Amino acid sequence: MKSALFNADEVKRRLYLQGMHGQQLAEAVGVSKTSISYYLSGQRKPSAPVFLRICRALGAEPEELYVSADAPDSKLTPRSGSAA
């Protein structure tokens, strides 16, 4: 079974693109600004109901705000024996 992690970087990116701040997200979600700060810094992860409210507030699907913990590192490395 694959593990999933809250993708704080994607949430931050969407906040930026929408011109929102943590306080505005907190108000839309119904949690404190401190809670949002904890989620965005990775100190805590939101509960399932809070996560779904974050998705709604940002107009995102749940899959867009989670990243697989089992995903390989995204850095590209050349394959051995490949021509350069």
pLDDT tens figures, 7-53:
999 999 999 999 999 999 999 999 999 999 999 999 999 999 999 99
* Sign of torsion over alpha carbons 47, 34, 11, 53: positive
pLDDT of residue 68: 74
pLDDT tens figures, 55-72:
999 999 999 998 876 655
pLDDT of residue 3: 56
pLDDT of residue 72: 56
Domain 4-62: CATH superfamily is: lambda repressor-like DNA-binding domains (1.10.260.40)
Is 67 in a helix, a strand, or coil?
Answer: strand
Distant-in-sequence, close-in-space partners of 40: CB < 8 Å, separation ≥ 6: 8, 11, 12, 22
Q: What residues does each domain of the chain span? A: 4-62
